[in-house]
Copies of this chain bind each other. A is one copy, B any other.
Amino acid sequence: MAVMKIFGTPLSVNVARVIAVMNEKNLEYELVDVNLHNGDHKKEPFLSMNPFGQVPAFQDDDIKLFESRAICNYIVFKYKTEGTDLTHLADLKEGSIVGVWCEVEAHQFNPLVSGIMYEYIFTKFLGGETNESKIEEYCAKLTTVLDVYEERLKTCKYLAGDKFSMADLHHCPYLELFMKTPKAEMVTSRPHVLAWWQDISSRPAWVKASSGMQIPSA
């Protein structure tokens, strides 16, 4: 059986997410470079793997997938007994609460932080200007979200309860970048969110996955 392949670059937050899950599960994989500078993700043969032209894509024998969170779900489903339990599905209640906070990440957190990072990094990278008023608009909404996180993390160590889970892990890629921006104080000023971030970002699986992430220079 061939080793699982991740098509992308470790610079990408979404690739780093998949690598972190691989590391938590102690799995081997091959990272097949996709050159974003050349726009290789917007051309064939990459578009046959992901018609939206975004990294990562993924292959495990005859199974070809895209969308980082779907790839992560595949890995944790296939290797449920290996490495860190990220879903806690052995208990219906625990597993369902992990599911809730995975959805919170996807629908409450990600749109705001990805919007902020787009303005800080990608707009500049693409030769445009950072739109400060958009950043302020996103940050106002993120304040409300992080206030909920602060309350939640007063009652449990991790978002879905007392155990680390996929819900926490999914926050790592964008928070890693966000903590390098002038808005990092939104995390550091909330003691429970800060303690949670220090905990989840110091996990060896994430330290290793994030080592390939760099903020691209303009």
A contact residues vs B (CB 8 Å cutoff): 51-52, 62-63, 65-67, 69-70, 73-74, 77-78, 89, 92-93, 95-97, 99-100, 102-104, 106-108, 111, 145, 148, 151-152
Contact = CB atoms under 8 A, between A and B. Distances in A.
Contacts of A51: 148, 151-152
Contacts of A106: 106-107
A148 B148 CA distance: 36
A73 B151 CA distance: 25
A99 B111 contact: no
B63 A108 contact: no
B74 A96 contact: yes
B52 A93 contact: no
A148 B52 contact: yes
A103 B63 contact: no
Contact of A99 (B74, B89, B100, B151): B74
A52 B107 CA distance: 11
A63 B67 CA distance: 29
Contacts of A78: 92
Given A103-B70, A111-B111, A77 B52 contact: no
A51 B107 CA distance: 14
Contact of A69 (B52, B103, B111, B145): B103
Contacts of A96: 63, 65, 70, 73-74, 77
Nearest to A95: B77
Nearest to A103: B67
Contacts of A63: 92-93, 96
A42 to B, nearest CB: 11
A185 B51 CA distance: 22
Contacts of A67: 99-100, 103-104, 107
A65 to B, nearest CB: 5
A155 to B, nearest CB: 11
Contacts of A97: 65
Nearest to A92: B78
